[in-house]
Amino acid sequence: MRRRAAPVLQRRALVAIGIVALLLWLGYNLNHAPDEWQPALRLLVPAIVGILAGIAGKEAGLVGMILALALLLPGSIQSWTSGSVVQAVYELILVGLCLVAGFLLPVLVARQADRKFASLLRRTEERSARRASALSGLGRVGRELSLTFDPEQIYRIVAEEAIRFCKADRCAILLRDLETDRWNVAFCVGYLEEDQANLRQALQEPPEGSALQEAIRQGTLLCISDVSIEGRTVWGGRSARAALLAPFRLGDDLAGLLLLESDAPGAFDEEDRAFVETLAIEVAVAVGNARVYQEQVDRNNLLRQRADQLGHVLKIGQAIRSDQPLEQVLEEIAYAVQESVGFNLVLISVLEGDPPRLRRMAAAGLPVDVVERMKRTPQPWEALKTVMQDEFRISQSYYIPAEEQARWRGVLDVYEREIAEIHREPGRWHPQDMLIVPLLGPGREVRGILSVDEPRDGRVPDRFTVEALEIFAVQAAVAVENARLVEALQRRLDLLTFFNELNRSVIAKRGLEEVLQTVVEATGHLIESTGSVLFLLDEESGRYVPRAAYGHDVEDLRAYTYAPGEGLVGQVASTGMPLAVEDVEKEVPGEGEYVQSGAVALTPLAFGDQVLGVLAVDRAYREPFSSTDVATLIALADQVAVAVQNARLLDEAVRRTQELSMLLEGSQAISSTLDLDWVLQALGDRLLAM
C-alpha cells in the first residue's frame, strides 16, 4: 500500500511546477517580445531559478538552471559574437546568476536549514532533558511519599528538587494552621538564621503590597520576574530579584505556600512554574498524609490513654474500698492524673471548716518543701470562688488563662515555677494559666478541687482532657465523702464510748476530780485540738475556776478565774450559748484569757437553769473550729453537765454519810462511859477525821 506524500512536499511540487511553467512562458516571451523588453525579461530568468531552488530544493534548482541556460545561451552567444562588450558582460552575468541561483543558493539554503534544524533539535533535547529531570524529581518525591509519613523528610526532598530544577538560591515551605489561621516556616533552605526569624515575623503580618501578601490573599500562583521593575518586595526581608510563590490546598482551604527566591532577575520560566505547581501539589499530599497519620497516632494514643486511665480508676476504686487513709488515696489519685492525663504538676485540696477553707492534702510533681508549706497554709474558699466564673467554664471545670491572672494575683496562694510575660502562642499553655476541677459530692456540693499545671503536650486543655480530669475528680470526691462518713461514724463511736466511760465513772463512785480529768482528756481526743480546760462554778466566790485540764498545767491556770460576763468563759456562762473564736489575739482585746493566741471554742455545762461550768478546747494555731466540732463539744457538755451534777450529788451524799457515821459513833461513845476526858478525846478524834 503506497503512502500518501506529506502535505509540505505536495505544496513544494505544485510551486515547482508553477515556476517551471513560468520559465517556459519567459522562454516564449524572449522569442516574441519586443527588443526593449528583452533585458528585463532575461533578468527575470535567474531570479525565477533562485526562487525555484529556494522553495523546491537543490534538485529543482538544477532543473531550473538547465532550463534557464537553454533559454539564455542562444541570446548570449549571439551577443558575444556581435562584438558588443557591454552586452557580452551582461549576458555573462546573467549566466553566472543562473549558475549561482541553481547550484550555490540551494547549498546555502540547505546549510541554513541544517543550522535551524540543529538548533531546533538542541532546544528539543534540552526541553526533553528538563522534562526528564522534572519527571525524575517528581518521581523521587512520589517515592518518598509512598515510603514515609515524616513531613520533614518530604519537605527536605521537595526543597532540594525545587532548587535543583529551577536553579533557585533559596526555598521555603510555609504552612498555615487551619484552626488558628497562623502561618509558620515548616522548612527552609538557603536562609540565614536572621532571615528565618524575619520571614516568620513577616508571615504573621505580611508587609503591605508584598508578593507574600498577594499570594496569601489570592491563593494563586504568583511569579515575580524582577522586583525592581515591579516596585515591591517578595516578603520584606532579604532582597531577591525574582520569586515564585505556589500555594497548595487541603480541600478548599489554603494550607501553605512553596516559596522560591533567586538573586537573578527573570530566573523562572514557564517550565519552572509548571514544575513548582506540581511540587506544591505533592507537598499538599504530604501535608494531608501527615495529618491523617497524626490523627491515627493521636487516636491510638487516646485509646491507650483511656485504657491507662481506666486501669488507674480501677486501682483507685480498690484503694477507696480499703482502709487506706484519705491522704494516701488522694496521693494515688494525684500520681494517676500525672501519669495518665499528662500534667507534670497535680494538687488536690479538700474543702473543710467554717468558714470553708481548702486544705492541701496531696500533690504530685511539686517539691516536698513546697507541699509541706502549702499544707500549712489553708486557702480561703471565697477567694477561689471569685475566679470560678461561667466565662471560664469547660464542662464542670474552669480554665483561667494567663491574660486573666489579675483576678487571682495577690489573692490566692499558688505555686509558680516561673513567672513569664504574657506572650502566648495560639493554642499553647502559658505558665500562668490555671485549670481547676471541682470535686463534686452526691448532691453536687463542692468537696474540694483538683488543680493541674504544666501539660506535657504544651497545649491548652480541650474538652477530652477536662473530661478525663473530671473522672479522677469524681474518684477523689468519693474518697473524701467516704472519709468524712467514716470520720463521722468514728466520732460518734468515740462519743458513745466516752459517754459510756463517763457513766461508768459516775456509777463506779469515782471522785469528781477524776471524772473531770476523764472529760478533758476525752475532749482533747474527740476534737482535734492542742488543749482542753474545764471551768466549774465556785459557789463561795461566784467565779468560774479551772478544775481540770488537758494539754495545759492546771497549776498555771489557777490565776485565770472568771465572773459571769467576764472574758470568754464568763461570756459563755452568762449567755448560756457556745462560742468559737478563730484568732484570740486579733478578736479578743486584753490579756485576760487563758490562751493568748490561736483558736478556741467554748460551751456551757448547763443543768436545768444553772450553768455549772464551761468546757473549752483550744488550738495553738489559727484554724477555726468547724460547726461539727462545736456540735460535738455541745453534745459532750450536755453529758458532762449531768455527770458533774451526779458526781457532786454523790460527793455530797458521801460527805453526809460520813457526817452521820461520825455523829453515831460520837453518841455511842457518850452513852458508853461517864469519863468526860475520854468522851472529849473520842469526839475530838472523830472531828479531826472528818
Q: What is the pLDDT of residues 470-497, one digit of tens each?
A: 888 888 888 888 877 777 777 777 766 7
For the CA atoms of 151, 156, 160, 161, the dihedral, rounded to the nearest 10 degrees, stands at -10
Averaged over 452-465, what is the pLDDT?
88
Question: What are residue 214's phi and psi, to 5 degrees?
Answer: -65, -40
Q: Are 242 and 225 in contact (CB under 8 A)?
A: yes
pLDDT band at 509 (very low <50, low <70, confident <90, very high): very low
- Please give the CATH topology (third level) of the domain spanning 323-413+430-486: Beta-Lactamase (3.30.450)
pLDDT in tens, 53-73: 555 555 555 555 555 555 555
Report the chain's mean pLDDT, rounded to a whole number.
Answer: 78
Question: What are residue 631's phi and psi, to 5 degrees?
Answer: -65, -40
Bridge partners (DSSP) of residue 453 are 345
pLDDT in tens, 70-98: 555 555 565 556 655 655 565 666 666 66
Establish whether domains 148-295 and 323-413+430-486 are of one fold.
Answer: yes
Nearest to 263 by CA among 237, 226, 300, 297: 226
Q: Which CATH number fits domain 509-655: 3.20.20.140, 3.40.190.10, 3.40.50.1100, 3.30.450.40?
A: 3.30.450.40
Instruction: State the pLDDT at residue 138.
Output: 76
- Please give the CATH topology (third level) of the domain spanning 148-295: Beta-Lactamase (3.30.450)
Instruction: State the pLDDT at residue 64.
Output: 58
Element (H, E) at 107: helix 105-147
Averaged over 162-179, what is the pLDDT?
88
pLDDT band at 1 (very low <50, low <70, confident <90, very high): very low
Instruction: State the pLDDT at residue 348.
Output: 92
Instruction: State the pLDDT at residue 532.
Output: 92
Averaged over 126-135, what is the pLDDT?
75
**Cell, residue 316:** 483507685
Q: What is the DSSP letter of 580?
A: E
Nearest to 414 by CA among 379, 465, 459, 464: 379
Least confident of 16-30, 125-139, 443-457, 595-609: 16-30
Instruction: State the pLDDT at residue 89.
Output: 62
Instruction: State the pLDDT at residue 438.
Output: 92
pLDDT band at 601 (very low <50, low <70, confident <90, very high): very high
Question: What are residue 5's phi and psi, to 5 degrees?
Answer: -70, 155
Averaged over 395-414, what is the pLDDT?
87
pLDDT band at 349 (very low <50, low <70, confident <90, very high): very high
Instruction: State the pLDDT at residue 487.
Output: 74
Averaged over 377-386, what is the pLDDT?
86
Instruction: State the pLDDT at residue 643.
Output: 73
pLDDT band at 464 (very low <50, low <70, confident <90, very high): confident
From residue 79, alpha-carbon distances to 45, 74, 90, 99, 491 in Å are 17, 9, 9, 19, 153
Residue 355 preceded by cis peptide, ω within 30: yes
User: In this predicted model, which residue has the larger pLDDT, 501 or 56?
Assistant: 501
pLDDT band at 604 (very low <50, low <70, confident <90, very high): very high
Averaged over 581-604, what is the pLDDT?
86
Query: Which of 125-129, 308-312, 362-366: highest mean pLDDT?
Result: 362-366
Instruction: State the pLDDT at residue 626.
Output: 81
Query: Which of 123-127, 298-302, 595-599: highest mean pLDDT?
Result: 595-599
Q: Where are the beta strands (DSSP E) in 571-639?
A: 579-581, 599-607, 610-619
Number of residues assigned to the chain? 690
Residue 270 CA, chain-centre distance (Å), reads 44
Domain locations in the chain? 7-125, 148-295, 323-413+430-486, 509-655
Residue 52 to residue 476: CA distance in whole angstroms: 106
Report whether pLDDT(217) > 50. yes
Averaged over 514-526, what is the pLDDT?
81
User: In this predicted model, which residue has the larger pLDDT, 39 or 507?
Assistant: 39
Query: Which of 301-310, 564-573, 652-661: highest mean pLDDT?
Result: 564-573
Q: What is the DSSP letter of 605?
A: E
Residue 364 to residue 439: CA distance in whole angstroms: 17
Q: Are 177 and 184 in contact (CB under 8 A)?
A: yes
User: In this predicted model, which residue has the larger pLDDT, 580 or 147?
Assistant: 580
